[in-house]
Amino acid sequence: MSQVDGENVYTCITCSVAFLTAPEQRDHFRSDLHRYNMKRRVANLAPVSAAVFNAKILERRAAMESSEKATQEDTGRCQVCRKNFSSENAYRNHMQSRKHREMVQKQGKMPPSAPKSEALNNMQAVRKALPEENEEEEEELDEEAAMERAIERKLAKARRIDPATECMFCSESQSSLEASVRHMQHVHGFFVPERKYLTDMAGLLRYLADKVSVGNMCLWCSGRGRGFHDVHAVQKHMMDKSHCKVAYDTQEDQLELSDFYDFRSSYADYKKADWEEVSETSDDEDGEAVWEEVSDDESDDIPQDNGIRYGDSELELVLPSGARLGHRSLQRYYRQSLWQTPASQQAPASATNGRALAHRIIGHAQRPVVTARGGQEMVVRNRGEAKEAMRHVREVRDAQRRELFKTKVAFRHNHQKHYRDPLLQ
């Protein structure tokens, strides 16, 4: 708002016009002239007046009408099908339709395309498919080669940790492999799972060290967490999170380290003499060593009689000592602690027990019955218990009534009228 000759006027800086009232100014802001001048202002052009803008609109409408007439004269009629169309889009759709092409072929103005035989189509399909298969095989080979080159570059650039002379977690120098294992165990809490079945301690530690130094991978997260950019970040993560341990919980983690273990000694029917190396040159063309399991009685299907038998099902084994071993899939049931009455405390079934049970039932039937409010009946041992029970029922009902009253009050007060400032709407 500005003052001209002592009067307040409303102006539009973009269009360089003034208005006497605010409604006129607001109507101008919603007009096409104001939008057009705003676009010109963005393009660093001078605004135009209302007369010039109206003249441009009239010129544009005249040009559009003339172009529409020319289009209708040119494409408004199909001479072949003898049809008229009111728009250019309808005419184009008709020209691309199947009926129009059939009419053109019938009149001989468009020669039909020569059909191709099925054999020719099949040959072309085979010729196209063969290069695609070759290309896919080449792409797979290229990916494998690229992966191998990337691994080689990673091994060449990475500083590999030697577990025999260096700690995997703090890079502290050690004198031997045993000293390194002892240091990692006492300082970092590192331990080797299933150590009594471990056959290659040095190989396992080298693999774990390469996993940390080359793969930049946490031993406990084992690729399931976030990635790390160097070995120092991995070591810091393992020490901060207390992840200085080997992941050995899932079957996938156990299979990853299975090459360094030998669990055959844990089998019940295992004997070292039962495993013999047999070289069969006639059956094996490559001459590789074939391992064959040979039992004492020349039969692999009949297990040895060691006193172990199945229990109630194949998921339970009974040892010679009488102990029962259950399958791990049922561990949730074995962990349950169910209350059982000792056999010494259980009274044997007799006529005396039967009479006592009958007396208890008769006594329960002879107990007084007290009727509370609402027709509710309660069986009690005496009148005092009846009064206490009715008092408890009354207290519960009173509490329910109070809560219901509070809820009703809250509903009423939540819907009451309140003051609203009209300037903030």
- Give the residue with greater pLDDT, 307 vs 182: 182
Residues 175-197 have pLDDT tens digits of 888 899 999 989 988 988 888 88
Q: Which of 1-15, 82-96, 166-180 has the lowest mean pLDDT?
A: 1-15
Residue type, 103: M
Under the banding of pLDDT at 50, 70 and 90, the label for residue 364 is: low
Under the banding of pLDDT at 50, 70 and 90, the label for residue 2 is: low
Distances (CA, A) of 3 to 9, 12, 19, 23, 26: 6, 14, 11, 17, 18
Alpha helices (H) in 189-260, listed in sequence order: 201-213, 231-240, 251-256
Q: What is the DSSP letter of 298?
A: S
What percent of the chain stands above pLDDT 70? 65
Instruction: Calculate mean pLDDT across residues 375-387.
Output: 67
Asked whether residue 278 carries a pLDDT value surpassing 80, the answer given is no
Asked whether residue 323 carries a pLDDT value surpassing 80, the answer given is yes
Residues 72-120 have pLDDT tens digits of 555 567 878 888 877 777 888 888 888 888 888 887 654 444 444 444 4
Q: 159: closest CA among 205, 212, 203?
A: 212
Asked whether residue 319 carries a pLDDT value surpassing 70, the answer given is yes
Q: Rounded CA gap, 78 and 100, in Å?
A: 9
What per-residue confidence (pLDDT) applies to 309?
86
pTM value surpassing 0.75:
no
SS3 410: helix
Residue type, 211: K
Asked whether residue 353 carries a pLDDT value surpassing 70, the answer given is no
Cα 272-250-254 angle, rounded to 5 deg: 30
Long-range CB contacts (< 8 A, 24+ apart) of 74-82?
A: 80/104, 80/107, 80/109
| CB burial readout 32-62, b (16+ within 10 A) else e | ebbebbeeeeeeeeebbeeeebeeeeeeeee
Q: 146: closest CA among 157, 158, 135, 154?
A: 154
Asked whether residue 311 carries a pLDDT value surpassing 80, the answer given is yes
Instruction: Calculate mean pLDDT across residues 318-340.
Output: 82
What per-residue confidence (pLDDT) applies to 124?
54
Residues 215 and 206 sit within 8 Å (Cβ to Cβ): no
* Beta-carbon contacts of residue 200 (< 8 Å; ≥ 6 apart): 259, 260
What per-residue confidence (pLDDT) applies to 18?
87
Q: Cα dihedral sign for 317, 320, 324, 327?
A: negative
Angle between helices 50-75 and 88-95 (to 10 degrees): 30
| CB burial readout 17-26, b (16+ within 10 A) else e | bebeeeeebe
What per-residue confidence (pLDDT) applies to 283?
46
| CB burial readout 67-101, b (16+ within 10 A) else e | eeeeebeebbebeeeeeebeeeeebeebeeeeebe
Pairing of strands 316-318, 309-310: antiparallel
- Give the residue with greater pLDDT, 286 vs 44: 44
* Beta-carbon contacts of residue 76 (< 8 Å; ≥ 6 apart): 84, 85, 86, 91
What per-residue confidence (pLDDT) applies to 69?
67
With 0-12 / 13-18 / 19 or more C-beta atoms within 10 angstroms meaning exposed / middle / buried, residue 378 is: middle
- Ranked by mean pLDDT, the top range of 118-132, 260-274, 319-333 is 319-333
